[in-house]
């Protein structure tokens, strides 16, 4: 789960990281109100899960509350990288002298967390890494020892930060690392970390990505979680308790088991098809689960056919077939459905499907070929 800038800044503030004074606004009037409260030049920032907002016109300065209202009305409703802006952060504008980068992420190859500091902030770190990799000071952390003062000095030295910035660096890095650990992050980033004209450091942006598998440990983030679903179908699927990921193709994929579903995506692709989603219904395939799964896949109007891939182990093929038939009997389905059954009592299951609108298949490849042919109209 990704947090929006203002949500990340709320966490930073709790951990003593200096952030500009401000709040989120959903309407231009609210933006004007906040600007009036702050009583200084503010910056109005689009809150979407995308970087490069400045370049896209999603970050604007406003000297007065009226200007803030005007900027907010321009920004709310605009699209940045395909995402609609629904809210803006209105905060005290920073007097930017220099922009730096701080980030912590998990380096899977090294099996360690890595801290990165760069003098080249304000632009995406991926670009710095490509064009000027030497400008990023990096350090792997030993989880048992954490982040030590000498390491902070080393990072500051290697990144060539000016002495005035070095003073505050430790506070930021320690707090960022604490946030990273406490919230089970996979990324915690401040870009830019701003050095102001009067020599203070403030976090002008935040980017936090949390490990979804650890979300249950953070009930305080539940509210953010509900808000963060960008895709309405994914949001609905998760409400229904399904493991669903939307993709951009036209063949709906349903299977039992994450590994099987991933393989199904690959095989469909190899046969020339384009998967519309990932949906794992887990063990069993009772009629109600099948109904829910098909209904969810069909929420995506791009779907022109469905491939149901069931590997029967404990799940019996004839039970699956019965569930499928029961499900489609109650639904108005206009797209072809191919069902691949294998494993326990698969032959009996396929027999049950004969004469129905469901197309049976004995192997995954055969099923993939059939659905691709049906969808592509061959």
Contact residues for Mn ion (CB under 5 A)?
A: 191, 205
Nearer to ligand GDP, 195 or 298 (CB): 195
In DSSP terms, 113 is beta-bridged to: 106, 141
CB of 72 to ligand GDP, least distance (A): 15
Which span (94-102, 176-184, 215-223, 363-371) binds ligand GDP, by CB under 6 A?
Answer: 94-102
Does 204 participate in binding ligand GDP (rule CB under 6 A)?
Answer: yes
User: Where does residue 89 fall: left (phi above 0), alpha (psi -120 to 50 degrees), or beta otherwise?
Assistant: beta
For residue 194, with 0-12 CB atoms within 10 Å meaning exposed, 13-18 middle and 19 or more buried, which class applies? buried
Instruction: Pull the structure tokens for residue 340.
Output: 């691949």
Nearest of 362, 283, 363, 296 to residue 323 by alpha carbon: 283
Which span (47-55, 174-182, 256-264, 276-284) binds ligand GDP, by CB under 6 A?
Answer: 47-55
Residue reference for tokens 């490849």: 365
Active-site residue identified among 98, 189, 271, 319: 189
Instruction: Pull the structure tokens for residue 308.
Output: 């149901």
Instruction: Pull the structure tokens for residue 74.
Output: 């321009």
Q: In the bound complex, which residue of the shown chain has the CB atom lying closest to Mn ion?
A: 205
Does 205 participate in binding ligand GDP (rule CB under 6 A)?
Answer: yes
Nearer to ligand GDP, 80 or 303 (CB): 80
Q: How many residues does the chain have?
A: 378
Residue 46, Cβ neighbours under 10 Å: how many?
28
CB of 122 to ligand GDP, least distance (A): 3
Nearer to Mn ion, 122 or 336 (CB): 122
Task: Tell me whether residue 189 is one of the annotated catalytic residues.
Answer: yes
Where do runs of H (alpha helix) occur along the chain? Answer: 5-14, 28-38, 65-75, 125-131, 149-158, 163-182, 222-228, 232-239, 258-270, 287-297, 317-329, 346-353, 364-375
Q: Tell me the backbone φ, ψ of residue 337, rounded to 5 degrees.
A: -125, 125
Please state, in angstroms and rounded to a whole number, the distance separating the CA atoms of residues 281 and 323.
13
Does 89 participate in binding ligand GDP (rule CB under 6 A)?
Answer: no
Nearest of 20, 218, 100, 178 to residue 10 by alpha carbon: 20
Does 300 participate in binding ligand GDP (rule CB under 6 A)?
Answer: no
Please state, in angstroms and rounded to a whole number, the distance separating the CA atoms of residues 123 and 133.
13
- 52 binds, options Mn ion, ligand GDP, none, Cβ within 5 to 8 A by partner type: ligand GDP
Pick one of 70, 74, 114, 122: the residue that binds ligand GDP (CB under 6 A).
122
Pick one of 44, 59, 251, 352: the residue that binds ligand GDP (CB under 6 A).
59
Count of residues engaged in binding ligand GDP, rule: CB under 6 A: 15
Active-site residue identified among 101, 177, 180, 183: 101
Pick one of 30, 67, 98, 99: the residue that binds ligand GDP (CB under 6 A).
99
Does 78 participate in binding ligand GDP (rule CB under 6 A)?
Answer: no
Pick one of 192, 252, 275, 349: the residue that binds ligand GDP (CB under 6 A).
192
Nearest of 125, 113, 104, 76 to residue 12 by alpha carbon: 104
CB of 165 to ligand GDP, least distance (A): 16
Which 310-369 positions form the footprint of ligand GDP (CB under 6 A)?
Answer: none
Which span (53-61, 125-133, 255-263, 266-274) binds ligand GDP, by CB under 6 A?
Answer: 53-61
Q: What is the DSSP code (8-state) at residue 334?
A: -
Please state, in angstroms and rounded to a whole number, the distance separating the CA atoms of residues 290 and 284.
10
Contact criterion met (CB below 8 Å) for 53 and 45: yes
Nearer to ligand GDP, 41 or 356 (CB): 41
Which span (46-54, 144-152, 290-298, 347-355) binds ligand GDP, by CB under 6 A?
Answer: 46-54
Give the catalytic positions in this structure.
Answer: 101, 189
Q: Which residues bind ligand GDP (CB under 6 A)?
A: 43, 51-54, 59, 93-94, 96, 99, 122, 191-192, 204-205
């Amino acid at each position: 789960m990704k947090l929006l800038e203002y949500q990340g800044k709320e966490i930073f503030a709790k951990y003593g990281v200096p952030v500009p004074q401000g709040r989120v606004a959903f309407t231009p009037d609210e933006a004007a109100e906040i600007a009036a409260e702050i009583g200084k030049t503010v910056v109005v920032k689009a809150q979407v899960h995308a970087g490069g907002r400045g370049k896209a016109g999603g970050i604007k300065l406003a000297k007065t509350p009226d200007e803030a209202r005007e900027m907010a009305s321009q920004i709310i409703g605009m699209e940045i990288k395909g995402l609609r802006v629904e809210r803006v952060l209105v905060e005290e504008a920073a007097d930017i002298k220099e922009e730096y980068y701080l980030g912590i992420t998990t380096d899977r190859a090294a099996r360690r967390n890595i801290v990165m500091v760069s003098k080249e902030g304000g632009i995406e770190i991926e670009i710095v890494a490509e064009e000027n990799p030497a400008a990023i000071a990096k350090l792997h952390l030993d989880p048992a020892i954490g982040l030590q003062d000498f390491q902070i000095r080393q990072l500051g030295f290697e990144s060539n930060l000016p002495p005035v910035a070095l003073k505050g660096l430790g506070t930021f890095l320690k707090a960022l690392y604490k946030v990273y650990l406490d919230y089970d992050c996979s990324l915690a980033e401040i870009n830019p970390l701003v050095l102001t004209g009067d020599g203070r450091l403030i976090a002008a942006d935040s980017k936090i990505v949390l490990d979804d598998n650890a979300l249950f440990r953070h009930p305080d983030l539940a509210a953010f979680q509900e808000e963060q679903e960008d895709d309405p179908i994914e949001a609905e699927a998760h409400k229904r308790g399904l493991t669903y990921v939307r993709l951009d193709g036209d063949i709906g994929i349903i299977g039992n088991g994450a590994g099987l579903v991933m393989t199904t995506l690959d095989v469909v692709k190899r046969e020339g098809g384009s998967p519309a989603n990932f949906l794992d219904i887990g063990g069993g395939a009772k009629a109600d689960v099948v109904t829910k799964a098909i209904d969810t896949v069909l929420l995506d109007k791009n779907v022109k056919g469905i491939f149901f891939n069931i590997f029967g182990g404990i799940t019996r093929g004839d039970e699956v077939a019965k569930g499928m038939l029961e499900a489609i009997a109650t639904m108005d389905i206009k797209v072809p459905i191919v069902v691949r059954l294998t494993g326990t009592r698969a032959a009996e299951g396929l027999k049950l499907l004969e004469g129905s609108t469901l197309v049976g298949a004995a192997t995954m490849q055969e099923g993939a070929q059939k659905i691709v042919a049906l969808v592509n109209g061959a």
